[in-house]
Amino acid sequence: MPAEERVHLDDLATEGFELSLPPVPNVRVLRRLLRQHPTVQVIDRAMLAGAIGDPEIDDLVTRLLEGFRSGRRFPHTTALAAIAVLLEPRFSPFAETFLRDLASLRLEEIRAAIEMAKLCQIARQWRAGNGFRSLRLVRPKPSEPRWSPHPSSSESPSALDTIATMVVRESAQRYG
């Protein structure tokens, strides 16, 4: 693998990745910049090759959200937005659930990621509605179990469970 291809999923969570993007006026521009970003493109190729799968993405998002504090700036909003962009063309239960759950949040701390998930959902619907189903198949690793939306009770909570918990908390604060 060439040196420029030695990128890991965790690179999305670095300050260097965040600083490599210029300030943008809206999420449409951010989406275009993320799709063209070398780190995102390398990770996308790794996902297509099966080197990075749903469990790795789920693990990263779970680790990122451990640092979430209500009322404080969340430093990994761009990383969550990049993950939404990476999952946009993938029609899998994990991608669908992740984008839906992230888009349903109403948290100012991660507003750009939430808006990105909404934009990615719209793009997915447009592709599906216009007959341009560009399914991007990913070969699972032989040693990796298939992703399950319902982890066993012995497993740590997934990123999707964490997002769902945030939605419940937010609803309780607003309506409770």
Local structure of 44: helix, strand or coil: helix
Give per-residue pLDDT as tens, 49-92: 999 999 999 999 999 999 898 889 899 999 999 999 999 999 88
**Measured CA distances, 44 to 5, 9, 89, 159 (Å):** 11, 10, 10, 19
Tens-digit pLDDT profile for residues 95-113 = 999 999 999 999 999 999 9
Percent pLDDT > 70 in the chain is: 71
Please list, in sequence order, all residues whose beta carbon lies within 8 angstroms of the beta carbon of residue 151, skipping any fewer than 6 positions away: 157, 158, 161
Alpha-helix runs per DSSP H in 15-53: 15-19, 27-36, 38-49
pLDDT of 139 reads 54
pLDDT band at 164 (very low <50, low <70, confident <90, very high): low
The total number of structural domains in the chain stands at 1
Tokens representing 158? 């997934």
pLDDT of 168 over the 70 cut: no
**d(Cα 65, Cα 76) in Å, to the nearest integer?**
8
Distances (CA, A) of 12 to 40, 75, 83: 8, 11, 8
The boundaries of the domain holding residue 70 are: 3-175
CA neighbor of 109 nearest in space, from 76, 71, 81? 71
Residue bearing the bigger pLDDT, 160 or 111: 111
Q: In the predicted model, is pLDDT for residue 128 greater than 70? A: no
